[in-house]
Structure 1
């Protein structure tokens, strides 16, 4: 699996630029919904940081976590998105999103080797807030299912980019990669504090 990470990361980068390319086309319904859905996760720093960090965390844990942790985030996020679309309130959404960046960054920085199930529970909890934000911000003229598929695909691409970043950091070797991981996770956590305080 790990030898495929660089190719998957390149694919993720391609997916990440699709919304900006596709936004030149206008439309309503399913077309508009899918494009808006893909665009939403990649236009907010908070979403990008959290979702890429989920990928790094999954790589750190390894094994089944490589796919179970990102998959959990995407599935639970879709549930949170449905809550937002149907107007079901979730308290402290913005706080939850900011805390997700701080906590996930700190977990990566500290090199916490949590069991896969614990990591799944952690990212699933935060995914509800991210999904709800996506759902609430769905354009009125967008197709709901297509919009959901769009933000799920974009999120998966960001997770794959995080897996790729984790792979690249690991290539620094035993001497340098731990420091690189601590630095990356620490910077994410600091950015999360900036988001929480409104400085970013």
Structure 2
């Protein structure tokens, strides 16, 4: 079996364990809990990495604004979650964001202006809502929000760095493999949800 098939198989086997970051992490420190939430939630991690990868090859204005717009949308969603707003499709929205960000990478959809990010900003609201509904009991809400905002920003920047590195290394098909893996895992999450 070729390496890429083994990698895909390993990643698919991890989905049931990592797909849902919303079970808590046993730490009541707000910042730490918020920081690890997107790091260990495969749904959040994949969507943010792929989104960073996708916008990395865009116009400068998009590259500069996208990470902040996504983090702001997540903070708005989290605030709504803390205030008690919810909807039945939040997990579906998160899984859909993974699928669509993976497809955007795979197809190299152009991001020529910020309006192209509107669907992803909407999905960032879903990610934020999930964060807001899962603030650990006894944790500082402000600390939790700060933690996940910093982590989300760093994950997106990591995706952007991988994309820029791929360009420098002339790795022509990395977008295809990364996008397909993210899309397939998003589909698995949707099927498991």
TM class by shorter chain equals: 0.7 to 0.9
Q: CA RMSD in A?
A: 1.8
Give the structure 2 partner of residue 37 of structure 1: 34
Q: Is the 8 A contact 2:55 2:111 kept in 1?
A: no
The gaps in structure 1 that reach 5 residues or longer are: 1-22
The answer to whether 1:140 aligns with 2:151 is: no
Deviations 1:9-55 (A, max 9, x none): xxxxxxxxxxxxxx99x7x5xxx111111111111101000011111
Residue of structure 2 in register with 1:129 after alignment: 126
Query: Is residue 2:95 matched to residue 1:101?
Result: no
Q: How many residues are treated as equivalent by the alignment?
A: 169
**In 2, distance between residues paired with 1:115 and 1:91?**
33
Which stretches of structure 1, 4 residues or longer, exceed 6 Å deviation after superposition?
Answer: none
Residue 187 (1) aligns with residue 184 (2): no
Please give the alpha-carbon distance, in whole angstroms, between the structure 2 residues aligned to 1:190 and 1:171. Answer: 27
Provide Cα deviations, 1:43-89, integer angstroms capped at 9, x if missing partner: 11010000111110110213111121111110000000011111112
Q: Is the 8 A contact 1:96 1:129 kept in 2?
A: yes
SS in 2 for 1:64: helix
**1:56 maps to 2:53:** yes
Aligned equivalents of 2:116, 2:128: Cα separation in 1? 18
Give yes or no for contact 2:74–2:128 (8 Å, CA) kept in 1: yes
TM-score, normalising length: structure 1? 0.79
8 A contact 2:98–2:186 mirrored in 1:
yes
- The answer (yes or no) to whether the contact 1:41–1:48 under 8 Å persists in 2 is yes
Structure 2 CA distance for aligned equivalents of residues 131 and 137 of structure 1: 10
Matched, 1:196 2:193: no
| Contact 1:84–1:134 (8 Å) recurs in 2 | yes
**Does the 8 Å contact 1:68/1:120 carry over to 2?**
no
